[in-house]
A and B are shown apart, each in its own frame.
Chain A
Amino acid sequence: MSGRSSGTMTLPPVAVKIVISGGFGVGKTTFVGAISEIEPLVTEAEMTERSIGIDDTSAVTAKTTTTVALDFGRITLDDALLLYLFGTPGQDRFAFLWDDLVDGALGAIVLVDTRRIEDCFPAIDYFEEHEIPFIVGVNAFDYARRFDIEEIRDALGLDPDVPMVECDARDRESVKNVLVALTERVLARRLGKERAGSAW
C-alpha cells in the first residue's frame, strides 16, 4: 500500500453498477448518453453457433465471433465512488450476456415504450425472477399516445410496490430523477427487509 499524496481518500474506490434494460430501440442508449461522462459504448464478442457440442472440436472451425455493442456509462460521484450504467442488449439472441451484466448490480431500470409495451416483458420477468430491485421508466416519446401510469402498470402486470416514473431519456434531469427513484427503491426494500427480519 503506497501512501500516494494525490489528495484522494485512502479508502479504495467503490464501483456501483446499475443496469438499464428494456426492448430494442426503447431509448437505453439515449438514457445512458444523457448522463454519462464518457462516450457510452463498449463491446463484447461472443461465439455464435453456440448449440455446437462443446466437446466436439471438429466443429470449432465452423464458429465465428459476433460483436455486440453494449451501452456503457460512467459517472464519477466523488473521489471514492463510481457509478457505472450498463444497458442490456435488446436483441433476444444476446440474452445470455445478461447474467454477467446483472450480477452484483445495485438495481435495474426497465424502460418502456408505450407503443410496444410487450418488449419489456422479458426484462421484468428476469429481474423479478432474480430478485433484483427495479423500477419502470416510461419513456415519453413525442408521438406516442399518453397512457395513465396505472393503466401501464396493469398492462405490465407489475406489483403495486414497484415504482413507475415517467421520464424523457434525452433529458439529463429526467434521467437523474429515474436514478434517484431507483436508489429510493433499493433503500425502501432494504428497510422492508430489516423490519421483516426484526419481526422474527
Chain B
Amino acid sequence: MDSTPALLLHDLVKSYPAPSGGRTEVLRIPHLELAAGQQVALRGASGLGKTTLMHLIAGILVPDAGLVAVGGTPLTGLSEARRDRFRAERLGYVFQTFNLLQGLTALENVALGLAFGRGVQPRAAMAALERVGLAGHAGHLPRQLSTGQQQRVAVARALANRPCLILADEPTGNLDAARGRKVIQLLQRSAAELGAALLVASHDRDVLDCFEQVLDLAELNHVQAREEEA
C-alpha cells in the first residue's frame, strides 16, 4: 500500500497585515498528516482560521513558512500557475455556499471541475452527477434546484476529477440537519469509493458526529494556544 500521506502540513505559518502595521499571525501548525483514504473532521468555531487553513491546503493562499504537501507534491514550492493546475487535477473542494455558477447548468458546473485539469469530459461530468443521484437534473440551472440538490452538484464537481484529497469547508452551512447529514454521508461514501482522503471543516455538532476522527483546530493551531494561555 502507498505510504505517501494524502496531506502533510509541517511548521505551517500564516499571517496577515495588521491594521496597525506589522503582521498578525493567524495560523501556526507544527504538524498534521492525513493518510490516503483517511476521513477527518476539523472542529473550530467561526473566525478561528478554518477557511484560511483550507485555502492554504488548496494552494489558493501561500504560507509565510512551512510545508504543504498533497499526495507527496509540495505545493509550497510551486508557482501560482502550477498550484492552479495541481488544484484542478488532484484536489476536490466543496464550499459552504455551494458556489455554483448561476449561468451554467448542473452538468456544466460539474464539467468546470474538470475544465482546468484534465479538460472538459462530458461523460466524466455526467458520471459524477450520477454518483450524487442528479443525472436527471443535468440540464437544470442552479436556481431550478433545491439547496440540497445544489450542494450535491457542488459535491459532484469536487469529485469529478477523481481527487486524492477532498476539502469541504462548512459544506452543510446552508442546509438543515437532515440534508446536511445526507451530504456528509455522500462525501464519505464517495471519498471511500475513490480512495481519497477527506477533510471536512465544520463547527456543526451533527457533522462532527458523523466522523470517527475529529481534530480540534484550537489544539492544532499554536497561535490560538498561546493567545489562550496569555
- The yes or no verdict on A and B being binding partners is no
Q: Which residues of B are interface residues toward A (Cβ below 8 A)?
A: none
Q: Which residues of A are interface residues toward B (Cβ below 8 A)?
A: none
